[in-house]
Amino acid sequence: MPVMTIVEAIRDALHYEMARDDRVIVLGEDVGTSGGVFRATDGLFEKYGRARVVDMPLSESGIIGVSVGLALAGLVPVAEIQFMGFTHNGFHQITEQLARIRYRSWGSLSAPVTIRTPFGGGVRAPEMHSDAFEAHFVHCPGLKVVAPATPQDARGLLLSAIRDPDPVLFLEPLRGYRLIRGEVTTGEYLVPLGKARVAVQGTDCTVVAWSAAVEVAAAAAAAAAEEGISVEVIDLRSLAPLDTETLRASVTKTGRVVVVHEAAQTGGVAAEVIATIQEDEEMFYSLTGPIRRVCGADTPYPVQMLEPAYLISPQRVLRAIRAAVRA
C-alpha cells in the first residue's frame, strides 16, 4: 500500500474516477492548467483537456449553479471551491437549489454533484481562507457533508461522494493536505458515507472529532494515556448524516464525552453531536457529567499572527478530558 498525503489521495481518487466514468467533469477556479492551488487536480487537464477539466470564471455561485445544470444533463460534476469561506458566495445555490432539487421535483430530478473544498486553518493562509463553517451545511436538508481525517478515508470517501446519487459537500483538511500522511488502498476501495470510525480505542472518555482535529484528539489521547486515562477517539468522517450507532457504542461504554472542533463554538457542529448523544436515552443515562466542547472562540478565524493561539491544542483537549473524567 502506497503512502500518500491527503492531497495525493484526493488526486488519486480524481484520476481514478475520471478514468472509470467518462461522465465525471471537474470544474472550478484554477483546477486546470495550474492543477489547483493545492495541486489536488494536478495532471487531469493534461489527460482530459478542457472538455472535462474546466478552469472556471471567478464565480462560486455560478460554479455551483452550473454544476446543477451539468448534473441534470447527465454529467457527474466535481466542483472545487478554492476555500470553504467562498462557498458562502454560492450558499443560496447550495441550500435552495442543489440540495433541494430532488425534493422539490418530487423525486423526479437529482443532482449528484460533489463540491470539494479545503477548510480550517493552520497554514497561515490569508484572512477568510481558513474558515470552517461545516455547521452551515449540516443544517441544510438534502446535502451530505463529509470530512475525512486520513488519506485512506479521503480517497475512499471521495469515491463514494462522487458516486453518491445526491449532492455531497466534501471537506478537505487544509493543513492536512501535505502534513497528514498514511497508507492508502488504491483501486476500487470505497469508504461508505455516514459511517464513523474509531480512530483510537479507549474506555474512560470519548473524544469526538473530524478532519484535522482527529490528529489533535489523538495527540490528547496519547497524553491522557500517560496519565492513566484511556481515551476513545471517534472520527465522525460524515457530519451529515451522523453515525449515531458508533457514537452510542462508545458513549455507553465511557460515559464521558468531549467534542472538538476548530470552528466557533456557538452553533457549531459540536452542538448537534451533543444534542444527538443526549437525546438518546441509552446514551443520556450513561453520561456521568456534561458533554464538553473544545471549540474555537466565537470570533471569525483570525489572521496569521493570532493563529497559533486560536488553534486547538492537544493540551486544551487534554484539560477537557481530565475535567470530564473527574466529573
Ligand X SMILES: Cc1ncc(C[n+]2csc(CCOP(=O)(O)OP(=O)(O)O)c2C)c(N)n1
- Catalytic residue positions? 129
CB 259 within 8 A of CB 242: no
Count of Cβ atoms closer than 10 Å to residue 127 Cβ = 12
CB 161 within 8 A of CB 79: no
Residue in 253, 250, 212, 219 with CA at minimum distance from that of residue 234: 250
95 binds ligand X (CB under 6 A): no
Min dist. Cβ of residue 69 to ligand X (A): 18
108 binds other proteins (CB under 8 A): yes
Q: Could you tell me which residues come within 8 angstroms of residue 60 by beta carbon, excluding any fewer than 6 positions away?
A: 81, 86, 87, 89, 90
Among 15, 39, 100, 316, binds a second copy (CB under 8 A): 100
Residue 293 binding target from a second copy, other proteins, ligand X, none, CB below 5 to 8 Å by type: a second copy
Q: Compute the distance between CA of residue 205 and CA of residue 224 in angstroms, rounded to an integer.
A: 10
Sheet holding 24-28, edge to edge: 53-55, 24-28, 76-80, 114-119, 168-173, 144-146, 238-240
Q: Could you tell me which residues come within 8 angstroms of residue 167 by beta carbon, excluding any fewer than 6 positions away?
A: 94, 98, 99, 111, 112, 113, 114, 115, 142, 143, 144
Min dist. Cβ of residue 187 to other proteins (A): 25
Residue 275 binding target from ligand X, other proteins, a second copy, none, CB below 5 to 8 Å by type: a second copy
> In the stretch 140-169, what mask flags binding to a second copy with x, by CB under 8 A?
xxx---------------------------
Min dist. Cβ of residue 32 to ligand X (A): 13
Name residues contacting ligand X, limited to 40-59 (CB under 6 A): 58
91 binds a second copy (CB under 8 A): yes
Selected range binding ligand X among 82-90, 132-140, 246-254, 319-327, rule: CB under 6 A: 82-90
Q: Compute the distance between CA of residue 209 and CA of residue 230 in angstroms, rounded to an integer.
A: 16
Q: Residue 31, SS3? A: coil
User: Which spans of this chain sit near a second copy (rule: CB under 8 A)?
Assistant: 85-86, 88-89, 91-92, 95-96, 99-100, 103-104, 127-128, 131, 133, 135-136, 138-142, 240, 242, 263-264, 266-272, 274-275, 278-281, 284, 289-293, 298-300, 327
User: Which spans of this chain sit near ligand X (rule: CB under 6 A)?
Assistant: 29, 58, 60, 82, 86, 89
